[in-house]
Amino acid sequence: METLTDQNVVTLAKPFTVAEHGTVQNNPYIRKSAIRKRLSQVDLLWSLGVPEYIGTEGDVVIYRGALTVGGVTRWGIGTGIIQHLDANKQSVDGFALAKNVAKAHKTAVTDILARAAMEFGVGNYLRDKPWGTASFNDWIAKVTAENPLVSRRNPNSKAGPMPDRFNTCSTAAHRDSASPGWMFPD
């Protein structure tokens, strides 16, 4: 595929089903298997570049990588946190710490796909979820059925193509609730 069409962009931004979501601490996220499936609907030859290690800042491991869909490449940052305590809040060292360091690197690398997919509009609708006012299942069912931009958008409309960047929030409080890790935990 040479380029992304307006219809491809609409497909990428379309809400996922309830079953394609999970929650962590009452925050919804999209399962990575669902993201891969959606990318394949748009471009069977989508690719994720080799992750590049950026560094470790304190206990945070940082990688970056490129996602190419329809000939368009966007970048994502992945992060992982090195855990120094076990489930009982006891300090770990030796093999247990080495496992936690490896897990932080794996988490950061796998996080790249979801973060780069956000740059294509995947999951953007989650920023509008009314926190604490409705159950997630009810809300996502309504969004899936009624969202005119996603469900019934006519790619030939005079509204023009969707914006090239999808990571803006309207208020500071909204940005804080939609921090970089809000959508795709491991």
Three state DSSP letters for 2-30: CCCCHHHHHHHHCCCCHHHEEEECCEEEE
| Percent of the chain residues topping a pLDDT of 70 | 74
Q: Is 8 exposed, middle or buried (CB count within 10 Å of its CB: 0-12, 13-18, 19+)?
A: buried
Contact between residue 48 and residue 112 where contact means Cβ atoms under 8 Å apart? yes
pLDDT at 26: 74
Query: What are the extents of the domains in the chain?
Result: 6-169
What are the strands, taking DSSP E only, across the chain? 21-24, 27-30, 47-48, 52-57, 60-69, 72-81
pLDDT at 145: 73
pLDDT at 136: 74
pLDDT at 155: 38
**Which residue positions in the chain have pLDDT lower than 70?**
1-2, 130-134, 146-186
Q: What SS3 class is residue 41? A: helix
pLDDT at 147: 52
| pTM score over 0.95 | no
* Interval 155-166: pLDDT, tens: 333 333 333 333
Rounded-to-integer distance, Cα 103 and Cα 82, Å: 8
Evaluated on CA atoms 114, 119, 120, 126, the torsion sign reads: positive
pLDDT at 181: 39
Q: Is 39 exposed, middle or buried (CB count within 10 Å of its CB: 0-12, 13-18, 19+)?
A: buried
pLDDT at 140: 79
pLDDT at 16: 92
Amino acid at the residue 120 = F
Contact between residue 47 and residue 68 where contact means Cβ atoms under 8 Å apart? yes
Strand partners, 28: 23
Amino acid at the residue 28 = P
Contact between residue 144 and residue 151 where contact means Cβ atoms under 8 Å apart? yes
